[in-house]
Amino acid sequence: MQLPRPVYLGVLAIALVSGCSQPASQESADLSTSSSTSTDVGSPSPTAAPLSTPTPLPSPAVESTVERTLNPLTGLPFIKLPLPAQFAGMPAVLAVKIDNTRNAQPQAGVGLADLVYVEEVEYGMTRLAAIFSSTIPVRIGPVRSARITDIDLLAQYGSPAFAFSGAQRKLWPALDKATFIDVSANKVPQDYSRDSTRRAPYNYFFDAVSALSQVEGVSRAKEMGFTFDIAIPLGGSIAQGVDLAWPSSSLQFRYNPARNQYAVQLNGERAKVEKSDPGGSQVWADTAVVQLVEQRQSAYFDKGGGNTPQVETIGSGAAIILRDGQLFNATWDRSDATSGTTFTDSLGNQVPFHPGHTWIALYNKDREVVVKTT
């Protein structure tokens, strides 16, 4: 059974979203052991608050002035209301770098992200780059530092706001030249705080609503090369999910037929968010993508000598797309830094994502993808 998808109201979602959990039966995911095939595919605070007094929804008298369209980051309806200039058009795009270790659980805000990228950092660990637009939570985190991969990855969004805790000194000149709008702890320290109930460094949280109200020039959601369709495309094969493994991290997606979504499991644990987060305490994806990428050693090392790999998100390569309990083989392509990323089948037709939340794992093409078939 397919559950109805939420309709977001752009920046108004900040004011209107409320903390409510899904019934317990909806929170369970099928993460049991299943048969698999190995595929080598190529060698305590609130979660939302208004920016100001909430703007009322339009009355029937102005209904004709309302423009309905789709958010290009989710494929879900977005309502353009006759609002003051600062709220007009598509909502702003915010990227946040988030810790991805067991100590980071439960995370804050991740379940509300339109897209989440998983990227490798030092010692085979991974971090999340969460993209928010439809809904901007107040509390997001735990926030961690930027990496060289983030520069090219975020350039396709134009000039998104980018929240991160800091960066190594050698990387700062490159970050300063990047296209994103810096809302790091260096720029708006008042919008970051430590949670005394958690231990450092897994206790650093970002107040996104406050930070965005202080900056200008942040890009709005735009066409990214993604396509969305509620109808299942042709050419898929039945698959329950995939397993991905890095030296010090893991990621699993498992299909839940009752929800028609994928349960996200990080580092051997069900991905969870804080109880005060709207939408339930667990993280789900409507579409899960494995984007197979070139990965090489960068010029950046941490104090212990660990190298930060540079993940190449410009170019092309193979991809696996999971949606509606089916797997689709695809090719991803991105011609330059300012272009979005397209996903096409063997005939050159775009493979549509299921409307909603998308997770994209940037996975070294030389690693093994384990496909769960039953």
Q: What CATH number has the domain bearing residue 307?
A: 3.50.90.10
Q: Would residue 64 count as lying in a domain?
A: yes
Residues 238 and 360 in one domain: yes
Residues 252 and 204 in one domain: no
Evaluated on CA atoms 337, 181, 223, 151, the torsion sign reads: positive
Cα diameter, the chain: 64
Q: Would residue 107 count as lying in a domain?
A: yes
How many of the other CB atoms lie within 10 Å of CB of 268?
10
- Domain end (from 152, 177, 212): 212
Q: Would residue 221 count as lying in a domain?
A: no
Are 191 and 183 in contact by the 8 Å Cβ rule? The answer is yes
pTM of the entire structure? 0.83
Of the CA atoms within 13 Å of residue 130, those in its CB half-sphere come to: 29
Residues 251 and 144 in one domain: no
Residues 239 and 347 in one domain: yes
Residues 303 and 253 in one domain: yes
- Domain end (from 161, 180, 212): 212
Q: Would residue 53 count as lying in a domain?
A: no
Residues 157 and 281 in one domain: no
Are 14 and 135 in contact by the 8 Å Cβ rule? The answer is yes
Domain count, the chain: 2
Residues 124 and 204 in one domain: yes
Residues 161 and 78 in one domain: yes
Residues 206 and 251 in one domain: no
Q: What are the tokens at 237?
A: 């094969």
Q: What is the pLDDT along the chain (374 residues), one digit of tens a residue?
A: 333 333 333 333 333 333 333 333 343 434 443 445 554 444 333 334 333 333 344 444 444 455 668 899 999 987 665 555 555 567 899 999 999 999 999 999 999 999 999 999 999 999 999 999 999 999 999 999 999 999 999 999 999 999 999 999 999 999 999 999 999 999 999 999 999 999 999 999 999 999 999 999 999 999 999 999 999 999 999 999 999 999 999 999 999 999 999 999 999 999 999 988 877 799 999 999 999 999 999 999 999 999 999 999 999 999 999 999 999 999 999 999 999 999 999 999 999 999 999 999 999 999 999 999 98
Domain, as residue range, for 68: 60-212
Give me the pLDDT at residue 330, please: 98
Residues 167 and 274 in one domain: no
Q: Would residue 49 count as lying in a domain?
A: no
Residues 150 and 182 in one domain: yes
